[in-house]
Amino acid sequence: MAAERLPRSFEKLIETSELPVFVDFWADWCAPCHMITPAVKQLSQEFKGKLQVVKVNVDKQPHIAAKYGIKSIPTLILFHKGKLLWRHSGVLPYEALKSEIEKFVT
């Protein structure tokens, strides 16, 4: 998974990536965020080369969280070429997460 990115790099990534970009908005203190981490890692591995996975720590990048209206975490957003394709707040089991992502990733 990608490391934390500077805001400009984040914006450029979600606007120009040839691959869909899956963003996990999270925080260190968030227990549900830690619960979903294994599913996000598995998604990153299973869709390698078809999907780019990025984690955004809302405490370290509050301006990015504010821009995308993140009110609760974890919030998961799928972008492609700057367009929001899918969004979910809360924990999802891996199979449900995979099923949602497969609708957009070929």
Q: Which residue numbers are catalytic?
A: 30, 33
Whether the CA torsion 6, 31, 42, 88 is positive or negative: it is negative
| Cα 44 to Cα 36: distance, rounded to the nearest angstrom | 12
Tokens describing residue 71? 């009110």
Residue 33, class by beta-carbon neighbours within 10 Å (0-12 exposed, 13-18 middle, 19+ buried)?
buried
